[in-house]
Structure 1
Amino acid sequence: MKDVRVTHIGGPTTLIEVAGWRILTDPTFDPPGRRYSFGWGTGSRKTTGPALSPEQVGPVDVILLSHDHHADNLDNRGRELIARTPVVITTRAGARRLGDPAQGLQAWEKTVLRDPDRPAITVIATPCRHGPALSRPIAGQVIGFALHWPGQEHGALWVTGDTVLYPAVRDVPRRLTVDTVLLHLGAVRFPITGRLHYSLTAAEAVELCRLVRPRTIIPVHYEGWSHFSQGRQAIERAFATAPDGLGERLHWLPLTRQSVD
C-alpha cells in the first residue's frame, strides 16, 4: 500500500503511519516473564518483550484496541499509554470499562479521524468472534478495523482483530475491498478447553485470504506468548502450498527483542 509504513512491535501491536497519522494497534509493552490470567481458567505467559518501548515509539494520535480484557492485547504499560493518547477506539463494552478517551464501536459502525492539517481517515469496525460458536459470553466483545483515507488506490487496510473464521468474517470481502491485511493468527489454545482455538489458524488464514484477495498479507499475533499454538513455521507452510499465489503476498515484518525461556 503506497505511502503506508507498518512497524510490528510484537504480538498484535503495530504502528501504522499514514498521511501524517500515527496509529497504534493493541498496545502491549510489558517485559517478558509474567503470567497473566484471562479468566475462566485460561491464561498465558509472555515469553518475548516488545521490539520498541513506548518511549521509542513516541507520541501516537490514535489507538485501535480490538479488546481491552486480555493482556496479550492490552497489558499494564499499554494501559498507561492509553491514558495519554487523545483518541482510543475499541468495543462498546471496552469503552465503558476504560472510560474517557475511549470510544466504543460495534461491527460495521464507523467513525472518522479528523484534523485540519491531515486527511481524514474513516475507521470501520469489522466483526470478530474470539473463539468457537457460543463462546462470545465467555471470550467477550472483540472488533477489527478497516481504514479508509483519500487517495487509496486498491482498497482498505484491514486489521482483523482476534477472531476465528466464521460467517460474519467471511462477509468482510463482500462489503469491503481490502488491499493490505494485518492477520491476527496464532491458533490460540488453552489446556482447559483442549483443541478448541480462539484465533485464526494458518489454514483458516489461507481460506480467509482466498476470499479477501489482498495484495499484501502481514502476519501478527503469532509469537511472544505461550498460548499461541502455531507460529511462523506453521503459517509459512500453509501459505507455501496455498493457491492463487498467496504465499508471494506474505510479508514478515522484522522483530528484534528480549525473550525468556
Structure 2
Amino acid sequence: MALTLNPEKRVPLLKNPSESHHLPVKTTKTHPTRPSSDPNADKAGIYFIGTATTILSWQGIKILTDPNFLHKGDHVHLGPGVTAERKTNPAVDIDHLPPLDCILLSHYHEDHFDRLVEDSLNRDFPIISTPDAKSCLTSSSKEEPFRNVHALDFFEGLTLPIVTGPTLSGKKPQIKVTGMPGEHVPPGPLSVANELLKAVPPTNGWLIELGYSSESGSTVNEEVGYRIYISGDTLFIDELKQIPEYLHGEKIDLMLVHLGGTTIPGPKMPLLMVTMDAKQGVQLLKLVDPDVTVPIHFDDYNVMLSPLEDFKKEISAAGLDERVVYLDRGDAYQFEVRGLL
C-alpha cells in the first residue's frame, strides 16, 4: 500500500485555503552532543506547535501530527462526562500554516483532532490513522465524511514515495510509516469496560523511517537514514516491548514521547491515568533506547497532572540529561538523514 507525496500537487489542507505562511521558529536546536557543521548534509526537522501537534519536514515534504489548534480557555470533550480546558496557545494557528502533505493522527480524540480542525479541513486531504479513527472520519453518518483516510493497525506499514524531480545519485526519497502498539486505558477490567462502552478510542504509536530506494536491475534496494518513534497517547504497557523486537537491533534516532500523566475525569477527581507520567516516560526511554528524546504533550490541558519539571527531574536522576532535548512551543529540532552522500 502506498501514498505518493508530491509537493507540486498538494491537496489544500483547508476547505477555504489562505495564503501560504512560514513557520514562526523561535529557536532551532540540534543534537545535544553532536552539533553538525556540514552545510551539505541532508537536513530534516521537527517543529513543535503544542500538545502532540508537530510538523515533520524533509525533502520538501511536511507532515502534520495530531492537529490541535484550540486556544487557552477552550474546552475539549474526552469521553462521557469528561472535558478538559486548554491552558496554552499553539505556536501558530491552523490558517497560518505552510503547505502540508498529510496528517498523521494517533487517535480520534478532541485534544488531538479538535472540532475546529474537523470543521475546517479539506475532506480530500490525506490522513493516516487507526482503523477506529478511519471508521469515524469516513462514517456515512457524518454530514461531510473524509475521503482520503488510510488506516494502519499495529505493525502495519505504509510507504510514502516522494516526488521531488530528478533522483539524487539514483536514490529516490521515501517515508515509511508503521503503526506501533499503544494503550490509552490500563489493562484489566477498565480496559474490558472501555471496549464495551467505547469511551476512550484506540491509539497508535508510530515508527517513521526516512530513507531512500534505488533500483538495481529488477531489485529495489531500500535504506533507512533516520528513524523516529512517536509514542502516541499510551501508558507503559508490556506490548511496548514488541517495539525493540520489531526493530531487530536497529536504532531509534529520535523519540517524541507523549507525557503529561493525563488523568480523568479531571484534576478535581484524578481517578484514571491514561497517558504516561514522568516515571513511565523514563521507563519507555530506557526500553526503546533512542539516541535523542523530545518530550511533547505535557502541559497543554488541565487534566495533565505530571508536569515537564517532573520528567526533567527523573531524567537527571537517571543520568540521561544529554539524551533529551526540550522544545518550547515554536521551537524546532534539526537533524541529519544518513544515506544521501
TM-score w.r.t. length of structure 1 = 0.89
Matches within 5 A, 1:134-173: 134-135=190-191, 136-137=194-195, 138-150=199-211, 155-173=226-244
1:75 aligned residue: 114
Match of 1:125 among 176, 179, 184: 179
AA at the equivalent of 2:263 = R
Structure 1: which 5+ runs fail to align? Answer: none
User: Would the alpha carbon gap of residues 76 and 212 (structure 1) be closer, same or farther in structure 2, given more than 3 Å must change?
Assistant: same
Per the alignment, do residues 201 and 228 of structure 1 end up closer, same or farther by CA in structure 2, a change over 3 Å counting? same
1:92 aligns with 2:131: yes
Question: SS at 1:158's partner residue?
Answer: strand
Which one-letter code corresponds to 1:43 in the other structure?
T
Question: Which of 231, 248, 255 pairs up with 2:307?
Answer: 231
Match of 2:298 among 196, 217, 222: 222
Q: What residue number does 2:66 align with?
A: 26
* AA partner of residue 228 (structure 2): L
Write out per-residue CA displacement over residues 112-147 of structure 1, whole angstroms, 9 at most, x where no aligned residue.
Answer: 112332611110011110021142523221111111
Structure 2 unpaired stretches of 5+: 1-30, 32-41, 139-146, 165-171, 213-222, 332-341
Which residue of 1 is the match for residue 37 of structure 2? none
Aligned partner of residue 253 in structure 1, secondary structure:
coil
Equivalenced residues, count: 254
CA contact (8 A) 2:76 2:114 kept: no
Change (3 A) 1:96 1:29: same
Identity %: 27
* Larger Rg belongs to: 2
Secondary structure of the structure 2 residue equivalent to 1:139 = coil
Pick 1 or 2: higher relative contact order, CA cutoff 8 A, min separation 6: 2
- The question of 1:246 aligning with 2:320 is answered yes
The answer as to whether partners of 1:82 and 1:88 remain within 8 angstroms in 2 is no
Query: Structure 1: which amino acid aligns with 2:83?
Result: G
Query: RMSD between aligned alpha carbons?
Result: 2.2
Per-residue deviation, 1:105: 1.2
TM-score w.r.t. the length of structure 2 is 0.69
1:149-186 superposed Cα distances (whole Å, 9 cap, x missing partner):
22677751011110001011122122123110000110
Larger displacement relative to structure 2 (118-127 or 83-92): 83-92
Q: CA deviation at 1:195?
A: 4.1
Query: Distance between the aligned counterparts of 1:256 and 1:14, measured in 2?
Result: 10
Q: 1:61 aligns with which of 91, 95, 101?
A: 101
- Letter of the structure 2 residue corresponding to residue 131 of structure 1: V
Matched ranges for 1:191-210 at <5 A: 191=265, 194-210=270-286
Tell me, yes or no, if the aligned pair for 2:258 and 2:298 is still in contact at 8 Å: yes
**In the alignment, is the contact (CA less than 8 A) between 2:209 and 2:225 conserved in 1?**
no
In the alignment, residue 8 of structure 1 is paired with which amino acid?
F
Q: Is the contact made by 1:144 and 1:161 (CA closer than 8 Å) also made in structure 2?
A: yes
Could you tell me which amino acid in structure 2 is paired with residue 4 of structure 1? A
1:102 aligns with: 149
Deviation for aligned residue 1:96: 1.5
- Between Structure 1 and Structure 2, the one with more helix by share is 1
Shift of 1:233: 0.7
Moved more, 180-189 or 36-45: 36-45
Whole-angstrom distance in 2 between the partners of 1:122 and 1:58: 22
* CA-to-aligned-CA distance 1:201-247 (integer Å, 9 cap, x gap): 111111111111111100001011111001111111111111xx422
